[in-house]
Structures are given as structure tokens and as C-alpha cells.
């Protein structure tokens, strides 16, 4: 293996060995604290344009299987790991982690002191970095953020037949697990591109709307906020992660970027009406600003135990609910899978379109 370097825009350089695709790569350097689930993480479209640092020291020990991809093509910019395991042991394994990266065209670097790198990110805040053969790589300070949602959203509508209620899944970078969770609840699902209009969705005659997770700054989608507001005022709606932020923004709230985001499978979240704490899977860099919520319209339903940030909202008039975390998990705990089940039960019990607020 050839020596390589991760160079941060703040000047720090981390040495390791190059794995995966043989090319330089620029991205926002973030870290994920999950102990398992590296296959789901590298195929999650929400990581588009980012270089993921895995906190867990050994990656690749159970290989890559044929069922756990969250998307067809990984959209992340790169991977940073400590120890690379090239001799995976699992009955479902069909490939090595390093080979998966290579086939997907994703560069990586192994043998890095990831503990020091994570401490650096936590002290500096999320920074851009370059994976390269050179220890003097230039990190360009781009001012314009790419429109990552446009890159990962579906380009055409896809319909999945089923006997239950019809859910339109607005794809901002949707994980396969969200689709699977809806199908397991017997929903018929139409996946639509992120910029689909209210009129087009109305013509699909849905029973409910789910706004998916996705990458990047939610303000990149500002021009579609009026459409999102009309859609959610007309049908029972659930927003997950980026979908949560978009619904809040569409109703006049604001978002802000966290210093280094919430990414991992062990984030404690308190359900405010019961006082119970759930352990959740999270992957986001932005949060809804507390003071920007119109308390006459929305009630906060969940809060992050660690930093008290908003983790869920419920509209007081319309059947709209949002969560900042991932109730479908994959990877992560299934403490909050009831949220998707309750959403489907709600739209099913109300009957076909009789509850739509016109």
C-alpha cells in the first residue's frame, strides 16, 4: 500500500496508507461514532461530499454483504479509518471493505490516528480536507456549497405497489431503509424527485407524505419552501432528518450549523410528553434554531439530551410531525421505529384522503 495524507484546511496533516480509489479527494471532514454499520454509513446519501472518519478502531472485520447498501452508488468523498481488516469473517460477506471503496470510486486512508483527528475536529469545528499522495496538498477554500441534494435525489418517479395507504416519499437523498420500512408496513410508495411540485403530488392522490433525509445545507432548497408548506398543509406529513429541517424552514423557522454535527448510533433523545429517553441513530450537521420556532404553530416533541437541541416537532393544527433522528435506524438502535409505524397507522385509520386539510 502507498503512503498517503489527509490534509486539513486548518493546517494539520495526518499520515496513513491509501486504500480504495486511486485519486485525490476534497470534502468536509466529519466523524461517526457508530461501532458497527460501516457499510450502511458509506452508502448513506446524506454523506454526499463528506470525508467520513470512523471512530471505531477496526473497520472491515465482517466484510461487505449483498443486502445492507442504503443506495446504489456511494456519494461520499472519502473515508478515514484506524485499522483496516482485510480478512473479514462473516457468513454473508461477499467483499472486503477496501474493495468496496475501490469499486465505488471512493478514496480512503487507513492507519490514521483517528482519535487525534476527532479531537482536532471537535476543537476546530468541522473542516474541509484533502486525501492525497502528497503531504503538501492544497485545500481550496470554496465559497459555494454544491447542491448535493440534486446529485443524490432520484431523477424519475418510482412506484412500489402494495395494499395499504399510499405514501409519497420525497427523495432528498433517501436511505433504502426508509422505503423498506414503509413497504413492511404495507404502504404503497411513490418516490418522487426533491423538486416535485404540490400540483404534481396532488395528482398522485397520496394518503400521506414523507420528507426524507439528505445531505447538505437545508437553505440550499429555499426556493421550494412554499411548495413544501402547501404539500404538508394538505396531507399528513412526516419529516426525517433533512425533511424535519425543511418543514421547520417552510413554516418560518431558521437552521444553524453545528460545530461538528451529530453522527452515530448512540445519541440520547428525550420524548418530552413521556420523559422517556430513546437511543437514536443520527447523521446531520444542521439543527433547527430554538428561538425561531413559532410556539403557536409548533410544539417541540423531542430534545437531544446532550446539547438540548430540537429533535422533533409536532404541528398544532395540521397532522405534521418531524424528527431529527432516524427512526428506521440501519445502522443503529430501533428504539424509535414506532414513529414510522404510528405515522402509517394514522394515515391508514383516517381513510383515503378524507383527512386532507384543503
Which residue among the candidates 244, 267, 284, 326 is catalytic per the annotation?
Answer: 326
Helix (H, G, I), strand (E, B) or coil at 117: helix
How far are the Cα atoms of 125, 191, 249 from residue 220, in angstroms, in the given order? Answer: 21, 21, 11
Q: By the 8 A CB rule, do 237 and 209 touch?
A: yes
What are the strands, taking DSSP E only, across the chain? 3-8, 13-20, 25-32, 50-54, 58-59, 78-80, 83-84, 107-110, 127-132, 158-160, 166-171, 188-193, 208-211, 237-240, 255-271, 277-288, 298-304, 310-315, 320-323
Strands 320-323 and 310-315: antiparallel
- Rounded to the nearest angstrom, the gap between the alpha carbon of residue 116 and the centroid of all alpha carbons in its chain is 25
Q: Is 261 exposed, middle or buried (0-12, 13-18, 19+ CB in 10 A)?
A: buried
Residue of 322, 328, 324 whose CA lies nearest to 340: 328
Which residue among the candidates 241, 244, 267, 311 is catalytic per the annotation?
Answer: 241
Helix (H, G, I), strand (E, B) or coil at 270: strand
The verdict on whether 326 is a catalytic residue reads yes
CA Rg value for the chain: 20
Contacts of 276 (CB under 8 A, 6+ apart): 270
Q: Is 193 exposed, middle or buried (0-12, 13-18, 19+ CB in 10 A)?
A: middle
The verdict on whether 85 is a catalytic residue reads no
Matching residue, cell 466529519: 30
Which residue among the candidates 70, 166, 328, 330 is catalytic per the annotation?
Answer: 328
Helix and strand element counts for the chain (H, E): 9, 19
The verdict on whether 244 is a catalytic residue reads no
Residues carrying an active site annotation: 241, 326, 328
Amino acid at each position: 500500500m502507498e503512503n498517503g495524507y489527509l490534509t486539513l484546511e486548518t493546517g494539520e496533516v495526518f499520515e496513513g496508507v491509501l486504500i480504495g480509489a486511486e485519486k485525490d479527494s476534497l470534502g468536509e471532514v466529519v466523524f461517526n461514532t457508530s461501532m458497527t454499520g460501516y457499510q450502511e454509513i458509506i452508502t448513506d446519501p446524506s454523506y454526499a461530499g463528506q470525508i467520513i472518519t470512523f471512530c471505531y478502531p477496526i473497520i472491515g472485520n465482517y466484510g461487505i454483504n449483498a443486502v445492507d447498501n442504503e443506495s446504489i452508488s456511494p456519494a461520499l468523498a472519502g473515508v478515514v479509518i484506524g485499522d483496516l481488516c482485510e480478512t473479514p469473517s462473516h457468513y454473508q460477506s461477499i467483499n472486503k471493505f477496501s474493495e468496496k471503496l475501490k469499486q465505488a470510486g471512493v478514496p480512503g486512508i487507513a492507519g490514521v490516528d483517528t482519535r487525534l483527528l476527532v479531537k482536532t475536529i471537535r476543537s476546530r469545528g468541522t473542516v474541509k480536507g484533502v486525501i492525497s499522495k502528497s503531504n503538501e496538498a492544497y485545500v481550496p477554500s470554496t465559497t459555494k456549497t454544491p447542491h448535493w441534494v440534486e446529485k443524490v435525489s432520484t431523477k424519475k418517479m418510482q412506484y412500489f405497489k402494495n395494499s395499504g395507504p399510499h405514501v409519497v416519499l420525497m427523495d432528498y437523498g433517501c436511505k433504502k431503509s426508509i422505503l423498506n420500512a414503509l413497504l413492511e408496513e404495507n404502504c404503497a410508495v411513490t418516490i418522487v424527485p426533491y423538486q416535485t411540485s404540490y400540483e404534481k403530488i396532488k395528482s398522485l392522490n397520496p394518503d400521506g407524505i414523507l420528507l426524507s433525509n439528505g445531505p447538505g445545507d437545508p437553505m440550499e432548497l429555499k426556493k421550494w419552501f412554499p411548495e413544501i408548506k402547501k404539500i404538508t398543509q394538505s396531507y399528513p406529513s412526516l419529516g426525517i432528518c433533512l425533511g424535519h429541517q425543511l418543514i421547520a424552514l417552510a413554516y418560518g423557522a431558521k437552521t444553524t450549523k453545528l460545530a461538528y454535527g451529530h453522527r452515530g448510533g448512540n445519541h440520547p433523545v428525550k420524548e418530552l410528553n413521556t420523559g422517556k429517553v430513546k437511543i437514536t441513530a443520527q447523521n446531520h450537521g444542521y439543527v433547527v434554531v430554538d428561538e425561531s420556532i413559532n410556539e403557536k404553530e409548533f410544539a417541540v416533541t423531542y430534545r437531544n439530551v446532550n446539547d438540548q437541541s430540537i429533535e422533533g416537532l409536532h404541528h398544532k393544527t395540521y397532522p405534521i410531525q418531524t424528527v431529527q433522528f432516524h427512526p428506521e435506524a440501519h445502522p443503529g438502535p430501533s428504539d424509535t421505529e414506532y414513529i414510522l409505524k404510528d405515522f402509517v397507522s394514522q394515515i391508514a385509520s383516517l381513510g383515503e384522503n378524507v383527512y386532507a386539510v384543503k
